[in-house]
Amino acid sequence: MNEIVLENTFVEQDLFPFTLTRSVADIRIGILTIREKWEKFFNYSISLTPASGNAIILPANIIPTYHLATAIKEKKVDQYISAANKLPAIQYPWHIFQMNDAMIRADFELITKGRKSGPISPTNKTIHAENIFIEAGAKLEHSFLNASTGPIYIGKNAEVMEGSSIRGPFALCESSIVKMGARIYGATTIGPHSIVGGEIKNSVILGYSNKAHDGYLGDSVIGEYCNLGAGTSNSNIKNNATEVDIWNEHIKKFIPAGLKCGLMMGDYSRSAINTSFNTGTVVGVCCNVFGTGLTPKYIPSFSWGYTPLMNYQFEKALTDISNWKKLKNQSLDNDEIMTLKHIFEQTIN
């Protein structure tokens, strides 16, 4: 079989701020990242750079499907594409939450096919328990799980605390926690090693982040190593119910994203308690968001506050990031520092 290579053949800035710190192939949508989906289909590591002349090169923002994977395995990918089959892809950040419903369902089938779920404690109340899959080491007690509207996936060593209400489709990835009394609507994905509480709807947290307290998060995407302070909420629909415009870094202007769009927050960014995010707000990488009133609709990377908007000092930013990573038993490596330095220089200078 020919090797599959994912290539960034589209404008990465269209997926700002998430592609500042990762390849689009490593964006989580559904339960798995795009790269992990390919690896599940083909059972080998997927590269971002060609290793042989016979490699099948595909855009990294293409989301693999069973039919596309089958066409590749049968060496019929050209016929498949020429037959007017539209390849699903994410081009803009709001596509992540807009497509998350379908992706959770597809990943759930891919991950659980031929496997048996762990037991669900009888202290929980379930609807359509056959659509619930519990991985080894997961803990759930006295929660309400409604899988009639979509599957519910609880990852390895994850925990759903008592009093939580979850409506599928929903994915709680490895070692993440849903705190007591949380209300979570589909289609929501909580990436690995995250902590969530309050009210969440149709959102994706990529991983290693916290929204641990009350407040609303809806139609949003949150990067890694982010923290939403207690009481933080976002608006996801305008008061006049017209289309939401969102900042596009590629063309340096606002473009329409649909009737509902909440918060797009890049890696290593944080908000103070009771922060109120405006409809369709974009927050760059490594921002400390605090101020009075609704936030600006665009907060550049390495911002410190927004009334007024000031610059985050680079060395202090690295210290703060290191401290937050320690909370997740992680550390800041040299490659990350070089990436952050490049972002800082491009943004501030």
Sequence letter at residue 123? T
Q: Cα(106)–Cα(177) distance, rounded to whole angstroms?
A: 23
- Check residue 31 and give left, alpha or beta (phi > 0: left; psi -120 to 50: alpha): alpha
Q: How far apart are CA 4 and CA 69, in angstroms?
A: 10
How far, in Å, are 125, 168, 191, 212, 227 from residue 175 at the CA level?
A: 22, 19, 9, 14, 17
Token pair 């779920």 in the structure block, residue? 117
Domains of the chain are 4-91 (no CATH), 115-208 (2.160.10.10), 225-349 (no CATH)
Say yes or no to pLDDT of 126 above 60: yes
Reported confidence tier of residue 342, pLDDT bands at 50, 70, 90: very high
pLDDT value for 2? 59
Contacting residues for 286 by C-beta, under 8 A, at least 6 apart: 266, 267, 268, 269, 301, 302, 312, 317, 321, 340, 343, 344
For the segment 132-152, what is each residue's pLDDT rounded down to a tens digit? Answer: 999 999 999 999 999 999 999
Q: Which pLDDT score, from 0 to 100, does residue 30 have?
A: 97
User: Span 288-297, mean pLDDT?
Assistant: 95
More confident residue, 4 or 211: 211
Average pLDDT, the chain: 93
pLDDT above 70 for 333: yes
Residue 118 makes CB contacts below 8 A (sequence gap 6+) with 134, 135, 136, 138
DSSP tag of 234: E
The predicted-structure confidence for 201-250, as pLDDT tens digits, reads as follows: 999 999 999 999 999 999 999 999 999 999 999 999 999 999 999 999 99
Residue 225's closest CA among 313, 300, 328?
Answer: 328
pLDDT (0 to 100) of residue 1: 52
* pLDDT per residue as tens digits for the range 161-199: 999 999 999 999 999 999 999 999 989 999 999 999 999
How far CA 199 is from CA of 23, 175, 294, in Å, comes to 30, 20, 19
How many Å apart are CA 245 and CA 298, to the nearest integer? 11
| pLDDT the model gives residue 32 | 98
Q: What region, left, alpha or beta, does residue 102 occupy, with left being phi > 0 and alpha being psi -120 to 50 degrees?
A: alpha
Contact 302, 317 (CB under 8 A): yes
Which tens digits make up the pLDDT trace of 38-84? 999 988 888 777 656 677 788 889 999 888 888 888 888 778 877 76
